[in-house]
Chain A
């Protein structure tokens, strides 16, 4: 039990380290970008691997026909043994169409959810008194500045700059 917990913690730390390090040593890190700009060998290497990425993106973006799954299922079911071929599940498979995953289905609600989350965060901040504290800090700062000006240039000018 303890070993399992240790392993979990170790795994967690490793993934956090990876995320933290990837910001500093990933391809988008500033120093790498600067180096690439000045090193022709690395630039060439990056160019070649980006070509592979483009080709992969192109392959991934090619859609297949909507009934391909249905046809593949029909073909497969037709060669399975009789008890499977005529079962209700097999009939369902013969009519199956690809369905978007739950994440894809919920994607359209993403912006709405973000707005709601922002509103909730603001409400929580108001509830926690974050805004009143900010106002208090602002007033304190203003008073300190007013006090400074009053001691240096006199109350009259300080009142002019910081009216009550």
Chain B
């Protein structure tokens, strides 16, 4: 980032570190750098464009107000974890709301079909939102954001091997739950 300083009647361009400048330009840099990946991840979790925009806005607002405007040490980790948590809590609210509406409906909607891809996706999203916190984060980052285990480990501060184990446990749970919800 470049600033301007007036010395001896002349204007000089000086580079000022982004963190020290106090302008929080690093928020925009983070948006530029991680925005596309975040939007993809949020879209895969929420499947609704309005919700994606809301979660995205919420994430960067939290980043801008993190510890009175301080830059977090690991922006990428902060942004991904915040976005995933925000999106998943929104998803949980949506599921609760949807279930309430379904309960009120007189007609039963038991038209479950093996080939109904929309239903399958909806079921998986619902099951992911029920996973324990550590497993849910790994599935979200590895399977929905498509980050390699190394990066997932860095973001969650665990080893890649642990991330692999968590993912394996998560898939086993998801498989059982998806089968149960069908029966």
- CB contact list, B12-38 vs A, under 8 A: 23-25, 27-29, 31-32, 35-36
In the bound complex, how far is the Cα of B26 from the Cα of A46, in angstroms?
Answer: 46
Which residues of the partner chain A approach B44 to less than 8 Å between Cβ atoms?
A: 59-60, 62
Which residues of the partner chain B approach A99 to less than 8 Å between Cβ atoms?
A: 36
* Chain B residue at smallest Cβ distance from A92: B32
Which residues of the partner chain B approach A147 to less than 8 Å between Cβ atoms?
A: none
Task: Name the distance in Å between A32's Cβ and chain B's nearest Cβ.
Answer: 15
Which residues of the partner chain B approach A49 to less than 8 Å between Cβ atoms?
A: 171-172, 175
- CB contact list, B30-60 vs A, under 8 A: 31-32, 35-36, 39-40, 43-44, 47, 49, 52-54, 56-57, 60
> Once A and B bind, how many residue pairs between them come within 8 Å at the CB atom?
116
Please determine whether B146 and A98 come into contact, CB atoms closer than 8 angstroms: no
Number of chain A residues close to chain B: CB under 8 A: 36
Please determine whether B36 and A84 come into contact, CB atoms closer than 8 angstroms: no
Please determine whether B36 and A98 come into contact, CB atoms closer than 8 angstroms: yes
Please determine whether B28 and A75 come into contact, CB atoms closer than 8 angstroms: no
Please determine whether A72 and B179 come into contact, CB atoms closer than 8 angstroms: no
The bracket for how many chain B residues form the interface is: 35 or more
Which residues of the partner chain A approach B120 to less than 8 Å between Cβ atoms?
A: 51, 54-55, 58
Please determine whether A69 and B39 come into contact, CB atoms closer than 8 angstroms: yes
Please determine whether A71 and B179 come into contact, CB atoms closer than 8 angstroms: no
**Majority SS at the chain A contact face:** helix
Whether A76 is near chain B, meaning CB under 8 Å from some CB there, is: yes
- CB contact list, A34-86 vs B, under 8 A: 45, 48-49, 51-56, 58-60, 62, 64-65, 68-69, 71-73, 75-77, 79-81, 83-84
In the bound complex, how far is the Cα of B27 from the Cα of A87, in angstroms?
Answer: 12
Whether B178 is near chain A, meaning CB under 8 Å from some CB there, is: yes
Please determine whether B27 and A80 come into contact, CB atoms closer than 8 angstroms: yes
Whether B95 is near chain A, meaning CB under 8 Å from some CB there, is: no
- Residue-wise, chain B 98-137 has the 8 Å CB interface mask toward A (1 for contact) of 0000000000000000000100110111000000000000
Binding site for B on A (CB under 8 A): 45, 48-49, 51-56, 58-60, 62, 64-65, 68-69, 71-73, 75-77, 79-81, 83-84, 87, 89-90, 92-93, 96, 98-99
Task: List 19 A-B residue pairs with CB atoms under 8 Å apart, sorted by A's residue number.
Answer: A52-B124, A52-B178, A53-B171, A55-B121, A55-B123, A59-B124, A60-B44, A60-B144, A64-B49, A64-B52, A68-B43, A72-B35, A75-B56, A76-B57, A76-B61, A84-B24, A84-B28, A87-B25, A96-B32
- Which 6 residue pairs across A and B have the least CB separation, nearest first? A48-B175, A55-B124, A72-B56, A64-B43, A89-B28, A76-B57
